[in-house]
Structure 1
């Protein structure tokens, strides 16, 4: 099996190194990742300048672009062979609820949405993960990903991926299939004046998790709930954002107007 690994923390990030080491028993592992951190780039592609993939070691490439660029290049001509699976991560920090809109980790995984096996976005969720500097800090999460793949990935409809959040706890309590939770509005921006007298702004922190049970999902919890209770959260998410619950109603309304 040929496995492509990308991320948004950069090619030298400890999370991607731990993931590559854990997955090597499963087949050929190729890392193609941004040359530096590209968090928050979602599914952005670079269209205003050329991309420059540079091989820095055997099966390790750095790209002067976004996480999605890395997967796009890899699947569209950078290599003379095809990949069987795309895994993005391990991200340093959670990607829960509304985070998936902005996440470069998730954006990279979505570039692999058309493969036969569903792509996987993997994040380590905890309060201190930004301080982790060594691959061994991510090894429990990396081993979980190895086992998840080795046992045979569950099937998903086309254009779906798995968004996986692994809590930073000494002992994992198990795995829960979850739905995507919600956050409150983001915290206010912070305004400052730089040394040259210009007004600058820092984007605020993410909003808090919202307890919003989903209709009809009486036995399924949110991704926030799973991680908060020590469980790995596995959420199937899709590219199609159409709200089919209201589609027919809106169609009828506009038909009457027309």
Structure 2
């Protein structure tokens, strides 16, 4: 099996190194990742300048672009062979709820959405993970991903991926299939004056999780709930964002005016 690994933390990030090491027993592992951190780039592609994939070691490439660029190049001519699976991560920090709208980790996985096997976005969730500097800090999560893939990936509808969040706990309780939770409004921006007297702004932190039990999914809980209780969260997400529940109603109500 040929496995493509990308991320948004950069090609030298400890999470991607741990993941590559853990997946090598499953086949050929190729890392194609941004040359530096590209968090928050979602599915952005670079269209205003050329991209330069640079091999920095055996089966490790650095790209001067976004996470989605890395997967797009890899699956559209950079190599003379095809990949069987795309795994994005391990991200340093959670990608829960509304995070998937912005996440470069999820964006990279979505570029692998047309593969026969579901692409996977993997994140390590915990208050201290952004300070981790060594692949050993991600070893438990990486081994979980190895076992998950080795046991056989589930069959999903076309254009779906799996968004996986692994809690940074001493002992995992197991895994739960979850739905995408919701966050409250983001924290306010903060304003400062830089040393040259110019006003600058920082984007506020993400909002907190919002309790939203959904009757249509039975006993299934949100990704926030699973991670908060020590379980790996496995959420199927899709490219098609059409709201089919209101599609007909909207058509009927607006058609006379269109």
Q: What do the CA deviations read for 1:127-180 (whole angstroms, capped 9, x no partner)? A: 000111100100100001001100100010000000000000000000000000
Corresponding residue of 1:74: 74
SS of residue in 2 equivalent to 1:216: helix
SS of residue in 2 equivalent to 1:164: strand
SS of residue in 1 equivalent to 2:217: coil
Corresponding residue of 1:123: 123
Distance 2:248 2:72 in 1: 35
The two structures, once aligned, show a CA RMSD in angstroms of: 0.6
Corresponding residue of 1:189: 189
Distance 1:213 1:72 in 2: 36
Distance 2:129 2:49 in 1: 33
Matched residues, number: 258
Distance 2:9 2:255 in 1: 48
| Unaligned 5+ runs, structure 2 | none
Distance 2:212 2:174 in 1: 23
| Unaligned 5+ runs, structure 1 | none
Shift of 1:30: 0.1
Shift of 1:255: 2.5
Distance 1:19 1:129 in 2: 15
TM-score by length of 2: 0.99
Shift of 1:213: 1.2
Alignment of 1:99-110 (within 5 A): 99-110=99-110
Q: What do the CA deviations read for 1:87-116 (whole angstroms, capped 9, x no partner)? A: 000000000000000000000000000000
Shift of 1:256: 3.7
Distance 2:141 2:252 in 1: 48
Q: State yes or no: 1:93 paired with 2:109.
A: no
Distance 2:41 2:3 in 1: 22
Distance 2:176 2:252 in 1: 38
